[in-house]
A and B are shown apart, each in its own frame.
Chain A
Amino acid sequence: MNEKIAAKDFNCVGKGVERVDTLEKLTGGALYAGDMILPGMLHAKVLKSPHAKARIVRIDTQKALEVPGVRAILTGDELDYRVGLYLVDKYILAKGVVRHYGEAVAAVAADTLIAAEKAVGLIDVEYEVMEPVLDPVKGLEKDAPLVHPDLGKYDYIKDVFTPVPGTNIANHTKLRKGDVEKGFSEADFILERTYTNPNVQHVPMETHGSIGQWQPGDRLTVWTSAQSPFTVRNLLSHSFKIPHNNIRVIIPYVGGGFGGKAGIHLEPLVLCLSRKAGGRPVKLIATREEEFSMLPCRSGLVYTIKTGVKKDGKIVAQQMIMRWDSGAYADYAVNVTRASGYSAAGPYEIPNAWIDAYTVYTNKPFGTAYRGFGHVEFSWGIERHMDLAARTLGIDPLEFRKINALKPDSITLTGEKITADSGNVTKCMESVAKAINYGGLTEEEKAREKKTGLRIGKSVVALHKAPAMPPYTGTAVILKMNEDGSVIANFSLTEIGAGTYTSVAQILAEELRFPISRVKISIDNDTEKEPYDWQTVASKGLLLSGNAAILAARDLLAKAYDVAGQVLKANVVDLNHDEEKVFVKHHPSHSVSWRSMAVGYAFPNGNAIGGPLIGVGRYVAQGLTNLDKETGQGLPALDWTYGAHGLVAEVNDRTGEFNVIKVASAFDVGKAINPISVRGQSIGGMLQGLGTAMCEGYIYSAEGVLLNPSFTDNKIPTSLDLPEEVVSIAVETPQLDGPFGARGVGEHSMIAVCGALGNAIQNASGADLTHMPIRQEDVWRALQQVKKG
């Protein structure tokens, strides 16, 4: 796909054109799930568990049924369906037991929201509270209470996952490369430490919301704020045993997803309520509190890293043990374990590696996909650990990283060989180091220290990620020409805010040689109209859908040339085109306009040839393999996007107060299709990463009750929390099989920010932190340790 075209020859690719999906958003006309009204629509409310683990002794809905306007009430007893992306372990409503605080126990559909709320308040549930498992390390202990005693009976994808029945292990991913014990025996230093991350929420500004309609004859339609219409359809089909053709999934505008909407969430419930209500559509929009507790979050992680290094700075062996606190249901967490398992060491070469990554069930809101898919969490540990190793050896942390960075001929953890075309993490590191004047303080910074009394510290960290996806992931784009010669593209990658639609429009415009004003992307997704796409996750959309778009454009051009050849009585090889017409290269006045061919060409006497010009492009990931279950070896990576951050922070080494002065971020994007969009992703992801780093995290009581289920105590960065200076850098080592050389970057900007902050704070003040988030109080506590030690 990568035609080596010089940058100055691009018409559209590489330019910061305005986005194609934002006009409606600016005028208030864009309809999100919560804005939609359907005839006869009912409103739903959910009763949630106040306990982390309890047996449901009795549910009495009698009083609730008597509330005027109530049309349907459901409890878990009536719904025998299990749902699960990879491990089918979850009922639509809790059945027999509740496994986490906030779990949906019963649901009401009523004429008005207020009637539904009233009814929910009148449902009487008797619980027998049981002892919850709230910690993944404890959850792994021999006699830990089991979250899923029936784990052995669940269906799961056997080729990929390894649950361990009789334990809380939903998945155990293994990776064995080389010989770790031998490696450790050769090491000059061995460093072992454990790093932790709490649960964190995606906090999309739009909460989850779905409208479901189950009509007689088992015909299902759902309008939903989701990232993956075909996954929703597929899982509904599996769970309800209904053919795909009878299920229609429609996705309107989506107000952010970040992975939280990647799977299936409220859709089965609203559909079941609709069925019970005689087929009327039922709408359920989560409140913010429900978003935090009933909907899933990001798994927590306890990560123990043991690294053997030689005096010259080379890592010889690394053992990594991940215990993912993934809550009550497996959802995506088992795959996060797998995907971060094979990537767990960061962008460094580890000749001898041993990884055990466990998805541990606990009685908490469960972990789903979250931007970075495990990489934000493990990067905290890895980047802190790399600094620890560097410090122990007396080598500068940036130098240490460069010594060990993956480079051409390096072998990854899974046995893949990196080449010069994979991407350049060293260049990313060097460019951010330059941007923050790494290696000392500038005159300005020295003056600042003097003036404020705060101490400035700098860090450089690195990251990598490949899309976590099945090796056979595919997608398609359909491109249709309108009567006026413009085109519309249909594909079911969803636009959740990342800007991929605009990049695809640019790719189409470039390939067709049309102005972008003549390229429209159909924004809504409808499984009956758009062709299949696997999911909008994993930073694979630009690459796979971009390639499919190029192929669709070429297909449409070929069909048009075929017609034009006949009309012009010319060889197809002698034809060329511009934005108005197809013409004979050596007789440009011999031409036929796009308009005249768009929906079929009519000769002057009325005879017709051709037909509507429609291009179809399909693209599937090529050359990837499953991972061996014992050794973790294989080729899982569609592409690697490398990156780095340079961070400058100042710390008050008495109080723990700190400010992030500057963050420079660099990503090897291959080709920045839209530089303004790339910058937007870079800054937006960086700030979301700072949120994880500085202020986000679930806090539970000893009983497993979520103590901060709202913005009052679950803070996210505001406009005042942005660093003083942000720099966004694109390194462009072309991805040979990427559209115009491009790779994805949707997730990467948030991956290593936490480590960057932790390292900069330690460099500034000595405060040594191994857990997150880093609040100023945590820095203060760590400083007390420094003073003691």
Chain B
Amino acid sequence: MLKEFCYLSPATREELLDMLAEKGSNGRLYAGGTDLLVDIRGGKAPPQYIIDIKKIEKYHILSWGELEGLSIGAAVTCSDVAGSAVVKAHYPLLAEAAEHLGSPQLRNRATIIGNLCTASPCADMAPMLLCLDASAEISSKEGGTRRIPLKELFTGVKKTSCAPHEVVERIIVPPGMADSVGGYEKLKRIKGHDLALASVAVAKKGDRIRVAIGSCAVTPVLLPDFPIDTPAAVIAAEAERSIMPIDDIRASRDYRLFMVKVYIERLMAALQHAQ
């Protein structure tokens, strides 16, 4: 890197929380680095500290329990999730979504929580986790631990409701949405790795259908629940009301909107077909 900063790597959770309390406002949390280091390289002023969370053993835990559901620690990578027997068994949609992020090299480093905390509107992990009712567990030295629905984490383009002295330690996906069916569609410019120009995640469980849309608003958008026999056109109309895609160098507003509706149709048709 041609920008200078200090590297800190706390060995325990307590050490991390202390560091954040003291240095959080001059520091950035460092997990996979696939967003952070790119930002530092391309930006003006680097943070004074980058705080590596990967030495903390419990953050590497990816586990399933009947009561709690799926627990994804802060250092768990997209590759971990995509390849996990436990995830494939209970939340195959999540394993599938994780395959869509970046390239194999990026997936081996990018963490689920890192992707969410970068909070790009096109975050690949956000739509499906929103559909699956995920929540985020956030801790700090003074504030203890709080849990929020994932939806409340995203507050704007690259903005989260996390304060500089806080860390998202876990994402929890409840057992209620285990064994959902559905899928994730992503609009790209090439067949190779690209960020999402627009994306749709659909998850159906029991009598509910959940739909979330990425890259079409300042945050990923979770639509209200739909009953299972809702026609695709109704969902598409609700989507159109809820999102605000933009014209930019990647795609036009019109095409993003059009493709969101196409993806909703396709995913709904696939659900019908599966039945």
Question: Quick check: B190 and A655 within 8 Å, CB to CB?
Answer: no
What separation, in Å, do the CA atoms of A70 and B3 have in the docked complex? 16
**A113-B2, A117-B2, A655-B258 are contacts. A777–B193 as well, Cβ < 8 Å?**
no
Question: Quick check: B4 and A721 within 8 Å, CB to CB?
Answer: no
Question: Quick check: A114 and B194 within 8 Å, CB to CB?
Answer: no
What separation, in Å, do the CA atoms of A775 and B250 have in the docked complex? 10
Question: Quick check: A712 and B258 within 8 Å, CB to CB?
Answer: no
Question: Quick check: A721 and B191 within 8 Å, CB to CB?
Answer: yes
Taking the closest CB of chain B, its distance from the CB of A201, in whole angstroms, is 15
Is the CB of B259 closer than 8 A to any CB of chain A?
yes
* Chain B positions 231-263 with a Cβ under 8 Å from a chain A Cβ: 249-252, 255, 258-259, 262
Taking the closest CB of chain A, its distance from the CB of B11, in whole angstroms, is 29
Question: Quick check: A720 and B191 within 8 Å, CB to CB?
Answer: yes
Question: Quick check: A695 and B255 within 8 Å, CB to CB?
Answer: no
Question: Quick check: B191 and A718 within 8 Å, CB to CB?
Answer: yes
* Chain A positions 655-671 with a Cβ under 8 Å from a chain B Cβ: 655
Question: Quick check: A718 and B4 within 8 Å, CB to CB?
Answer: no
**A117-B2, A707-B249, A713-B250 are contacts. A719–B255 as well, Cβ < 8 Å?**
no
Is the CB of B195 closer than 8 A to any CB of chain A?
yes
Taking the closest CB of chain A, its distance from the CB of B110, in whole angstroms, is 15
Question: Quick check: B193 and A114 within 8 Å, CB to CB?
Answer: no
Give the contacting residue for A695; candidates B3, B189, B195, B251; CB below 8 A.
B189
What separation, in Å, do the CA atoms of A713 and B195 have in the docked complex? 9
Q: Mark A531-553, 1 if CB is under 8 A from B, else 0.
A: 00000000000000000000000
Residues of chain A within 8 A of B262, CB atoms compared: 654-655
Residues of chain B within 8 A of A777, CB atoms compared: 251-252, 255
Question: Quick check: B192 and A721 within 8 Å, CB to CB?
Answer: yes
Taking the closest CB of chain B, its distance from the CB of A692, in whole angstroms, is 13
Residues of chain A within 8 A of B189, CB atoms compared: 695, 715, 775
Of A113, A694, A780, the most chain B CB neighbours within 10 A belong to: A780
Give the nearest-CB partner of A694 in chain B: B190
Give the contacting residue for A715; candidates B4, B194, B255; CB below 8 A.
B194
Is the CB of A708 closer than 8 A to any CB of chain B?
yes
Of A695, A699, A719, A721, the most chain B CB neighbours within 10 A belong to: A695
Question: Quick check: A780 and B258 within 8 Å, CB to CB?
Answer: yes
Q: How many A-B residue pairs have CB under 8 A?
A: 42
Taking the closest CB of chain A, its distance from the CB of B148, in whole angstroms, is 30
* Chain A positions 228-270 with a Cβ under 8 Å from a chain B Cβ: none
Residues of chain A within 8 A of B195, CB atoms compared: 712
Question: Quick check: B192 and A718 within 8 Å, CB to CB?
Answer: yes
What separation, in Å, do the CA atoms of A721 and B2 have in the docked complex? 33
Give the contacting residue for B192; candidates A117, A719, A775; CB below 8 A.
A719
Residues of chain A within 8 A of B252, CB atoms compared: 777
Give the contacting residue for B190; candidates A117, A708, A712, A721; CB below 8 A.
A721
Chain B contact residues: over half helix, strand or loop, or mixed? loop
* Chain A positions 685-726 with a Cβ under 8 Å from a chain B Cβ: 694-695, 699, 707-708, 712-713, 715, 717-721
Question: Quick check: A718 and B190 within 8 Å, CB to CB?
Answer: yes
Residues of chain A within 8 A of B2, CB atoms compared: 113-114, 117
Question: Quick check: B192 and A708 within 8 Å, CB to CB?
Answer: no
Give the nearest-CB partner of B187 in chain A: A776
What separation, in Å, do the CA atoms of A227 and B194 have in the docked complex? 32
Question: Quick check: B249 and A780 within 8 Å, CB to CB?
Answer: no
**A655-B258, A655-B259 are contacts. A695–B190 as well, Cβ < 8 Å?**
yes
What separation, in Å, do the CA atoms of A113 and B259 have in the docked complex? 45
Question: Quick check: B249 and A720 within 8 Å, CB to CB?
Answer: no
Question: Quick check: B190 and A699 within 8 Å, CB to CB?
Answer: no
What separation, in Å, do the CA atoms of A777 and B253 have in the docked complex? 11
Give the contacting residue for A780; candidates B190, B191, B194, B255; CB below 8 A.
B255
Residues of chain B within 8 A of A712, CB atoms compared: 195
Question: Quick check: A699 and B193 within 8 Å, CB to CB?
Answer: no
Taking the closest CB of chain A, its distance from the CB of B49, in whole angstroms, is 18
Give the nearest-CB partner of B263 in chain A: A655
**A715-B190, A720-B191 are contacts. A114–B4 as well, Cβ < 8 Å?**
yes
Residues of chain B within 8 A of A780, CB atoms compared: 255, 258
* Chain A positions 746-765 with a Cβ under 8 Å from a chain B Cβ: none
Residues of chain A within 8 A of B249, CB atoms compared: 699, 707-708, 713
Residues of chain B within 8 A of A718, CB atoms compared: 190-193
Of B4, B189, B250, the most chain A CB neighbours within 10 A belong to: B189
* Chain B positions 177-216 with a Cβ under 8 Å from a chain A Cβ: 189-195
Q: Mark A719-740, 1 if CB is under 8 A from B, else 0.
A: 1110000000000000000000
Question: Quick check: B255 and A717 within 8 Å, CB to CB?
Answer: no
Taking the closest CB of chain A, its distance from the CB of B175, in whole angstroms, is 35
Taking the closest CB of chain B, its distance from the CB of A433, in whole angstroms, is 27
Taking the closest CB of chain A, its distance from the CB of B101, in whole angstroms, is 14
Residues of chain A within 8 A of B4, CB atoms compared: 114
Residues of chain B within 8 A of A720, CB atoms compared: 190-192
What separation, in Å, do the CA atoms of A781 and B262 have in the docked complex? 15
Residues of chain A within 8 A of B255, CB atoms compared: 777, 780-781
* Chain A positions 556-588 with a Cβ under 8 Å from a chain B Cβ: none
Of B251, B252, B259, the most chain A CB neighbours within 10 A belong to: B259
Taking the closest CB of chain A, its distance from the CB of B180, in whole angstroms, is 26
Taking the closest CB of chain B, its distance from the CB of A628, in whole angstroms, is 44
Residues of chain A within 8 A of B250, CB atoms compared: 713
What separation, in Å, do the CA atoms of A717 and B195 have in the docked complex? 15
Give the nearest-CB partner of A654 in chain B: B262
Question: Quick check: A717 and B190 within 8 Å, CB to CB?
Answer: yes
Residues of chain A within 8 A of B190, CB atoms compared: 694-695, 715, 717-718, 720-721
Give the nearest-CB partner of B192 in chain A: A718
Residues of chain B within 8 A of A717, CB atoms compared: 190, 192
What separation, in Å, do the CA atoms of A719 and B249 have in the docked complex? 24
Residues of chain B within 8 A of A713, CB atoms compared: 249-250
Taking the closest CB of chain A, its distance from the CB of B92, in whole angstroms, is 22
What separation, in Å, do the CA atoms of A536 and B251 have in the docked complex? 38
Taking the closest CB of chain B, its distance from the CB of A756, in whole angstroms, is 18
Residues of chain B within 8 A of A114, CB atoms compared: 2, 4
Taking the closest CB of chain B, its distance from the CB of A342, in whole angstroms, is 35
Taking the closest CB of chain B, its distance from the CB of A384, in whole angstroms, is 22
Of A699, A775, A781, the most chain B CB neighbours within 10 A belong to: A775
What separation, in Å, do the CA atoms of A713 and B250 have in the docked complex? 7
Residues of chain A within 8 A of B191, CB atoms compared: 718, 720-721
What separation, in Å, do the CA atoms of A708 and B189 have in the docked complex? 13
Taking the closest CB of chain A, its distance from the CB of B21, in whole angstroms, is 30
Residues of chain A within 8 A of B192, CB atoms compared: 715, 717-721
Taking the closest CB of chain A, its distance from the CB of B151, in whole angstroms, is 27
Residues of chain B within 8 A of A707, CB atoms compared: 249
What separation, in Å, do the CA atoms of A689 and B192 have in the docked complex? 16
What separation, in Å, do the CA atoms of A712 and B4 have in the docked complex? 24
Residues of chain B within 8 A of A695, CB atoms compared: 189-190
* Chain B positions 1-31 with a Cβ under 8 Å from a chain A Cβ: 2-4
Q: Mark A152-164, 1 if CB is under 8 A from B, else 0.
A: 0000000000000
Taking the closest CB of chain A, its distance from the CB of B13, in whole angstroms, is 33
Give the nearest-CB partner of B256 in chain A: A777
Give the nearest-CB partner of B193 in chain A: A718
Of B192, B194, B258, B259, the most chain A CB neighbours within 10 A belong to: B192
What separation, in Å, do the CA atoms of A780 and B262 have in the docked complex? 13
Taking the closest CB of chain B, its distance from the CB of A207, in whole angstroms, is 15
What separation, in Å, do the CA atoms of A654 and B262 have in the docked complex? 9
What separation, in Å, do the CA atoms of A694 and B192 have in the docked complex? 12
What separation, in Å, do the CA atoms of A721 and B250 have in the docked complex? 18
What separation, in Å, do the CA atoms of A654 and B251 have in the docked complex? 17
Taking the closest CB of chain A, its distance from the CB of B260, in whole angstroms, is 12
Closest 7 CB pairs of A and B: A718-B192, A720-B191, A117-B2, A777-B255, A720-B192, A699-B249, A721-B191
Chain B contact residues, CB within 8 Å of chain A = 2-4, 189-195, 249-252, 255, 258-259, 262
The 11 sampled A-B contact pairs (Cβ below 8 Å) are A114-B4, A654-B262, A655-B258, A655-B259, A708-B249, A715-B189, A715-B190, A715-B194, A718-B192, A720-B192, A775-B189
Given A655-B262, A775-B189, A780-B255, 5 other A-B residues pairs in contact with their CB atoms under 8 A: A114-B2, A655-B258, A718-B193, A720-B191, A777-B255
